[in-house]
Structure 1
Amino acid sequence: MAESSSPSQLPNWLDWTRRLQAIAQIGLTYAQDVYDRERYEQIRELACEIAAQHTGGDAAQILALYAQEEGYMTPKVDVRGVVFNENEEILLVREVSDGLWTLPGGWADVHDTPSRAVEREIWEESGYEARAVKLLAAYDRDTQGHPPLPYSVYKLFFLCEVQGGSAQVSHETSEVAFFGKDAIPPLSLGRVNERQIARFYEHLAQPDLPTDFD
């Protein structure tokens, strides 16, 4: 049974932007007529203007972001490693980009399986060698209370066990540490939130809980 999650708080303008971008991207993938392609380019530009108006961003930069996407539009995949030590403390890394803490993880690469992707991210961001042992949760990011993004994301959280290594920072992380349940530091809310971490502690206490999913 899926764990219930908060309803999507996606603002209308972001929903419209994503839908217009999806129409444009799919159209540009399959359209052969040059005039049709021009129309799809115009739809993409309109989506970027809407996003820029509501975020204060630069439409050209948003267009460059969207232009990187090709093929049929699908959600991006974010993988996160949930690692506990023998004291039931959870592994967190401090992001250089915002100075806040998160579970190690990031975008899955096309040549990785999901489990290899999360193991690689843990190694790169924390210095620990880990093995993925269970998929704890598969969430639609929009249902989880994270700040909105221009695109849709699925978030995969894996329970992982340390196999070796030691705490090491990277170009993306400035600190690596384990924290107790009642001592969680300020979190990078675009990546993970307190409700999710609390849920993973429930999984730790009840190992037979099934995978959560939306």
Structure 2
Amino acid sequence: MSKQWLEWAKRIQALSQSGLAFSKDIYDIERYEELREISIEIMREHTELEMDKIRGLFTNETGYQTPKVDVRGVVFKNNQILMVRENIDDKWALPGGFCDIGLSPSENVMKEIKEESGFDVLPIRLIALMDKNKHPHPPEAYHYYKIFILCEIIGGKPTLGIETNSINFFSEHNLPQLSTNRNTESQIKTLFGFLRNPQKETILD
């Protein structure tokens, strides 16, 4: 779970960004800029990140701050789940990534699965929409929502993508080392519940 200092830093950053987006008064703008600097200092005090790196994370966006959206494809075959090994950390995750502007969640998940695994899929249903803060992911500078969409393979073949170095299917009780920034063991096990019970209600948390 996220640490309290991180929640304070993210909240201050979000308020300052919104204030800078809508405020017209020069003095208010100065105050919001100072609040943003405070959020950067909090991050610097509790992490090993360079100040310029943190400032880049916290100042590269404008407008009202909203959660970012990550989509993951849930593909079962022979009672196993499709996963790809990410180049960035050499650990395993459900195929997926940030949602691109101009594409629907279903279009995004089809694109991500094709690019990362080589499979053509048909999205079947939304099975989970999770708040990353409520699951045991490592702390993040931003607030994320994670969309999990059940998909069915309709074509293609295992093909490595630019961001992946391995593709495989895993059983619920033989999971590989997971990329916990992207998915946790408890999430994967929860998703297997939809394999056992296709009528299981969508999870919203």
The reply to whether TM is greater than 0.5 is yes
CA distance in 1, matches of 2:160, 2:47: 32
| 1:130 counterpart residue number | 121
| 1:22 counterpart residue number | 14
CA distance in 2, matches of 1:149, 1:84: 29
Seq. identity, %: 44
Q: CA deviation at 1:38?
A: 2.4
2:91 corresponds, among 87, 100, 108, to 100
| 1:80 counterpart residue number | 72
2:197 corresponds, among 196, 199, 206, to 206
1:44 corresponds, among 36, 40, 44, to 36
Q: CA deviation at 1:48?
A: 0.9
Counterpart secondary structure, 1:184:
coil
Counterpart secondary structure, 1:169:
coil
CA distance in 2, matches of 1:168, 1:41: 47
CA distance in 1, matches of 2:4, 2:169: 39
1:58 equivalent in alignment to 2:50: yes
Counterpart secondary structure, 2:15:
helix
Q: Which runs of 4+ in 1 moved over 2 A?
A: 33-36
TM-score where L is the length of structure 1 = 0.92
2:5 corresponds, among 5, 13, 28, to 13
- State the one-letter code of the partner of 2:159: Q
| 1:110 counterpart residue number | 101
- State the one-letter code of the partner of 1:167: P
CA distance in 1, matches of 2:37, 2:121: 43
For structure 1, which runs of at least 5 residues remain unmatched after alignment?
A: 1-8
Q: Answer whether contact 2:95 2:117 (CA < 8 A) is retained.
A: yes
Counterpart secondary structure, 1:84:
strand
**1:158-203 CA distance string (max 9 Å, x none):** 1011111111112211111111222211000111111111111111
1:91 corresponds, among 72, 82, 86, to 82
CA distance in 2, matches of 1:131, 1:65: 35
1:162 equivalent in alignment to 2:153: yes
**1:130-158 CA distance string (max 9 Å, x none):** 11111110110011111110111111101
1:35 equivalent in alignment to 2:33: no
CA RMSD, Structure 1 to Structure 2 (Å): 1.1
For structure 2, which runs of at least 5 residues remain unmatched after alignment?
A: none
CA distance in 1, matches of 2:53, 2:195: 42
**1:9-32 CA distance string (max 9 Å, x none):** 321111110111011100110011
CA distance in 1, matches of 2:14, 2:196: 41
- State the one-letter code of the partner of 1:30: F
TM-score where L is the length of structure 2 = 0.96
CA distance in 2, matches of 1:115, 1:145: 26
